Amino acid sequence: MGPRRSAASACGRLLLPLLLLGLSGFFQSYAVEVDIKDASNATCLYADWMMRFLIKYESDNGDYKTTTLNLSSSVTHNGSVCGNDTQAALVAVQFGEGHSWSINITKNNETYQGDFITLTYNTNDTAVFPDAKRKGPVTVLVRDPSRPIQLNTVFVCHNSFVIEAENTTQIFWNVTMQAFVQNGTVSKKESRCPADTPTSAPTVPPTIANVTTASTTTLSPAPTTGPKPVENPDTGNYSLKSGNKTCFLATVGLQLNVSQEKPLLININPKTTVADGACGNTTATLKLNDGNSTLIGFTFAVKNTSASAQKFYLREVNVTLLNRLNGSVISSADNSNLSKWDAFLGSSYMCQKEQTLQINENVQVHTFNLWIQPFLVESNKFATAEECIADSDLNFLIPIAVGVALGFLIILVFISYIIGRRKSRTGYQSV
């Protein structure tokens, strides 16, 4: 029996409280289980998962703060429905002081797929948003970036994965979910998420509206001879679109250096990394999500100069690392006071050599084969590049400059010697 005419006699079970150690001490993490039954009392939609949200909000004094919104112990799932060929399935949960989350799921004859994820958080909740400037509900809508799942297959993802949308980071882990369940039985066939497959099989990145991740060039890293700790990262090509026009281009290999108890080098895998962000006239942000619990954001700005030829520069970099097993924040670093990678507006910035960006005392970002243009991209191509000093032959020019200066000095000494001689000679003559 299919899930026809589902009166949705919803039946939610209680939650599994879990005490987890987070960065900022202990906090509770709850699993949500939603088991929706159809008119014949058979399961037609099943979901069991854990999630939390990192939310950036404006505080009373105008600063932006990031808070963590966790599920509370009491979660309801009013409004969840089975769906059918014409109506989307819906998993909707409500928790805490006026917060809610939902995903609607559509099917075709072979697959089912999330359509939109809706998060509503209420900044009236003073426990979570103690000093929010604006109080009331904020709704964030984001297209589900996941790939379609075969019908009669259950989606499973033990490792955490992340969806970013307008000032929020939504973190999910330990997910088991099947919509359009057949015959009332959750399938034994599993569809695993990329984060669960350690041998990183090249996955096609999900397409997010207005965002593309271009193909990747793999600059073959030097073969591992000797005890080289980590190879250089592969170079990825990322771009952002505004409408159907490319507005941001970046080619870069990225490596993170995170020192917790001991230094840890993490290479960003371009094959699983998805670009998101926003273009603007005076600021532009590129957000990279490696699908494996690492998020890096780069914000560029145009320099406030009165000069007619304006320059852009890298103003801010933030890095968020999550525990892959429980979605807790391992590290969250932000440096919004950078002044790097500057070039004239209308050109691009290039630095092939390794560059280091210091985000805070524990986190560094190393870049390789960098070529980036955050503004005024025309016809999907990089404009003329301004190269960094490390790349240019200036290094090699320095000894020459010193040599030339020395030469000048010698000539100067020689000239003054000649003049001196001539003066003394005329001196003799006048006597």
Ligand X SMILES: *[C@@H]1O[C@H](CO)[C@@H](O)[C@H](O)[C@H]1NC(C)=O
Residues 6+ apart with CB under 8 A from 19: 26, 28, 29
Q: For ligand X, what does the binding mask look like between residues 230 and 269, x meaning CB under 6 A?
A: -------------xx---------------------x--x
Q: For ligand X, what does the binding mask look like between residues 121 and 140, x meaning CB under 6 A?
A: ---x----------xxxx--
Q: How many CB atoms lie within 10 A of CB 252?
A: 24
Burial of 319 (0-12, 13-18, 19+ CB in 10 A): buried
Which residues are paired to 371 by β-bridges?
251, 350
The number of residues that bind ligand X (CB under 6 A) is 49
The answer to whether residue 111 forms part of the interface with ligand X (CB under 6 A) is: no
The answer to whether residue 292 forms part of the interface with ligand X (CB under 6 A) is: yes
Q: Write out the two tokens for 153.
A: 């297959």
Cβ 90 to ligand X shortest distance, Å: 8
Site for ligand X in 52-91 (CB under 6 A): 56, 64, 84-88
The answer to whether residue 325 forms part of the interface with ligand X (CB under 6 A) is: yes
CB closer to ligand X, 144 vs 386: 144
Contact window for ligand X (CB under 6 A) among 194-202, 250-258, 296-304, 336-344? 194-202
CB closer to ligand X, 220 vs 281: 281
The answer to whether residue 198 forms part of the interface with ligand X (CB under 6 A) is: yes
Contact window for ligand X (CB under 6 A) among 105-113, 312-320, 351-359, 365-373? 105-113
The answer to whether residue 169 forms part of the interface with ligand X (CB under 6 A) is: no
CB closer to ligand X, 52 vs 370: 52
Q: How many CB atoms lie within 10 A of CB 400?
A: 11
Cβ 360 to ligand X shortest distance, Å: 19
Do 382 and 348 contact (CB within 8 A), yes or no?
yes
Q: Output the DSSP codes for 280-332.
A: -SSEEEEEEE-SSSEEEEEEEEE----SSS-EEEEEEEEEEEE-TTT--EEEE
Q: Which of 240, 282, 288 is nearest to 267 (CA)?
A: 288
The answer to whether residue 384 forms part of the interface with ligand X (CB under 6 A) is: no
Give, in order, the Cα–Cα distances in Å from 192 to each of 27, 149, 158, 172: 28, 10, 9, 14
The answer to whether residue 18 forms part of the interface with ligand X (CB under 6 A) is: yes
Q: Are β-strands 190-192 and 340-344 bridged in parallel, bridged antiparallel, or unpaired?
A: unpaired
Q: Which of 186, 118, 114, 113 is nearest to 152 (CA)?
A: 186
**Interface positions with ligand X (CB under 6 A):** 4-6, 9, 18, 41, 50, 56, 64, 84-88, 98, 104, 106, 108-110, 115-116, 118, 124, 135-138, 141, 152, 166-167, 174, 182-183, 194, 198, 200, 209-210, 243-244, 266, 269, 272, 281, 292, 325-326
